[in-house]
Amino acid sequence: MSKIIIKSALITLAVVAGCAVAVFGILSLGFPGTLCGWCEQLGNYGFAARYASLYYAYTGNIADLGRCVEDSILAGDDGYVIKYCPELVDHGEFADYCALRDEKINGSISGNEGFSGVVFSYRQYTFGALASAYYREGETELALGTAVSALDADVVRGEFASVSYSGDIYGFPVNNALGSLALRVIENKDPSAGQSILDLLGRVTAVGGEQTKYLDTLKSALSGVIAG
């Protein structure tokens, strides 16, 4: 009798599990945006990025691609960042999308107590995340080109060569892409990449005291890494 009960219970469990899988599959195909939101609420940004990507494939809306990129960054998944972020930064509507994100994010943080006055730049944030991902994956030159291209629009990241770069970078906002990459290099205590960035910083003209202080701080830290 007990064997019959156990067998019935296992069959019931299998049926329930099968139904759950079927329902989840239907939701994945029909409602990826909803599942993305659930995953974000649970803090599972890796799965959220996948569903956001699927949702973007349905809608073609840059906001959904941006959501995919942001979830990839929050997941700390360099593979996802490298896969999705280039499509975002090369998108024809990227500049307009940056303006919308800057307005929303800066509006939300400016009222917070202790606000430093530093203006958030979505462009610098995304390029910095992509450059850092390339660097961690061993693509140092591509990382440098990506970071510099966020500050110098004439640079094509895939064609960049740090040893022959002769451009001039005017303006060095706090938390820009090259600065973000510099922090990764400093954390990694990488003298070779540190020297490359320090050379690039020599071509920067900071605008205002805050930018100058930020630039000088990075130069000093990179010099320390190079000196060992």
pTM metric for this prediction: 0.83
Answer yes or no: is 120 within a domain.
yes
Answer yes or no: is 185 within a domain.
yes
Query: For the chain, how many structural domains are there in total?
Result: 1
Answer yes or no: is 87 within a domain.
no
Answer yes or no: is 203 within a domain.
yes
In sequence order, the 6+-apart residues with CB closer than 8 A to the CB of 151 are: 169, 171, 172, 176, 177, 178, 204
How much helix, strand and coil, in percent to the nearest 5, is found in the chain? 75, 0, 25
Q: Which domain holds residue 227?
A: 97-228
Q: Percent of the chain, pLDDT > 90?
A: 67
pLDDT on residue 36: 64
Answer yes or no: is 141 within a domain.
yes
Answer yes or no: is 219 within a domain.
yes
pLDDT on residue 18: 37
Whether the pLDDT of residue 4 is over 70: the answer is: no
Which amino acid, 224? G
Answer yes or no: is 92 within a domain.
no
Q: Tokens representing 167?
A: 């451009």
Answer yes or no: is 9 within a domain.
no
